[in-house]
Homo-oligomer: A and B are copies of this chain.
Amino acid sequence: MSTSHPRRGNTRQRIQDVALELFSEQGYEKTSLREIAEKLEVTKAALYYHFKTKEDIVISLFEDLRGPIDTLIAWGELQPRTLGTKQELIRRYSDSLRDAAPLFRFMQENQATVRDLAIGDTFKERMHTLFDLLREPEAELTDQVRCITALFSIHAGMFAMQNVAGDPEEKRRAILEVATELVTAANPPSHRRPARPDSAQTASS
Contact = CB atoms under 8 A, between A and B. Distances in A.
Interface of A: 26-30, 106, 108-113, 115-116, 128, 140-142, 144-146, 148-149, 152-153, 156-157, 160-161, 163-164, 166, 170-171, 174-175, 177-178, 181-182, 185, 196-205
A53 B175 CA distance: 40
22 contacts: A26-B116, A27-B112, A29-B29, A29-B30, A29-B113, A110-B112, A111-B111, A140-B174, A142-B178, A144-B164, A144-B174, A145-B157, A145-B177, A146-B178, A148-B161, A152-B156, A156-B156, A197-B203, A197-B204, A198-B198, A198-B200, A200-B202
Given A30-B29, A185-B199, A199-B185, A145 B112 contact: no
A148 B160 CA distance: 7
Contact of A204 (B146, B149, B201): B201
Contact of A149 (B108, B111, B128, B157): B157
Number of copies: 4
Contacts of A28: 112
B198 A197 contact: yes
A141 B178 CA distance: 10
